[in-house]
Amino acid sequence: MDINQFAVYQLKNIPENREIRFRSSKMLQEKKIQIRYEAYEEVYLGYMQPADTPENIRSRLDKQLPRTFKGHSISVSDVLVLNKEGVVTSYYVEKGGFTVIAGFIRNSSSGAIVSFGTMDFHIEGKEGSWHAFDSIVVNGKQFFLMEHEKHGREVAWTVVDEAGKLIVDSTYVGFDQPVLKQIKEYLNPSQSVMEADIQEQSLGNNKGKPSLENWQKYMENGEYLRSSEIEEEQNYNMIDGRRNNMSPKNKKGRTSVLKKLRQKQVEIARRSGKAAPQMAEEEDMERRQK
């Protein structure tokens, strides 16, 4: 389950930050000063409700700072980072709102091939060279929005992971909801398969597949792969991780194989006009087994 949190970052109180403290992002951009995570320190970390936005979080903090808040009141040049359902977005605090900033929170591993600002990168299956100009962190993994270096916006953007693997082949709007959905499906493939199967059932295309309560049974057993046994079981209360379970039988109402054979032989003899063969030995064996 994703935990929704937010963090407030403020510039470290060091001489190097005097030039950028309380400056708007536009002013920093004009001076070609990059907003770097290394210049900041975390002054507060708190939980947020799913409906929270940067605006109402800022409003709450303006009214009263929590006891554990280690910095000054919210001001221009602060950075508010929201982790909402595993998606991390960074907001630069302006005088009258916020500006989304890319690459502030980075989660790159030591073996990462792509990082924010990577240039002249070649994506497998795509022509030309690409550069990373935006990024996002989803469930602790970082993904990068890539633009074609020669054609720019004339060619659709792509999304790759830190290893340079192509995750989203084409997008013109960046990290919107459809793109985030594809990223989450890449991170949780088994969950995506289950959701597709459930959707198929809801559309009436289950073709004899079990109802949703049976999905819950094998999920409670802790193994998603047990779903395959549903296709083979004769009785869904036998979903236990072992295939080919037989459905419960009522011994009192069971018809023996020998009795069925005897009935068949009598029928054949009647049709042919011959006497039915004797099965005393077989019947005696059956009585001993009982």
pLDDT at site 130 = 93
At 68-113, the pLDDT tens digits run 899 999 999 999 999 888 888 999 999 989 999 987 876 655 556 7
Q: Do the beta carbons of residue 117 and residue 81 sit within 8 Å?
A: no
pLDDT confidence of 22, banded at 50, 70, 90? Answer: very high
Task: Say what the pLDDT of residue 153 is.
Answer: 87
Q: DSSP letters along 151-207, please?
A: TBTTS-EEEEETT--EEEEEESSSS-HHHHHHHHHHH-HHHHHHHHHHHHHHTT--T
Count CB atoms within 10 A of the CB of residue 89.
Answer: 20
Residue 5 pLDDT > 80 = yes
State the pTM of this model.
0.49
Q: What percent of the chain clears pLDDT 70, i.e. is strictly above it?
A: 68
At residue 140, the pLDDT reads 81
Do residues 58 and 48 lie in contact, with contact meaning Cβ atoms separated by under 8 Å? no
Residue of 137, 146, 145 whose CA lies nearest to 107: 137
Name the token pair of 97. Answer: 């709102």
**Arithmetic mean of pLDDT over the chain:** 78
Residue-range domain boundaries for the chain:
5-101, 130-187, 194-273
| Mean per-residue pLDDT, 16-32 | 92
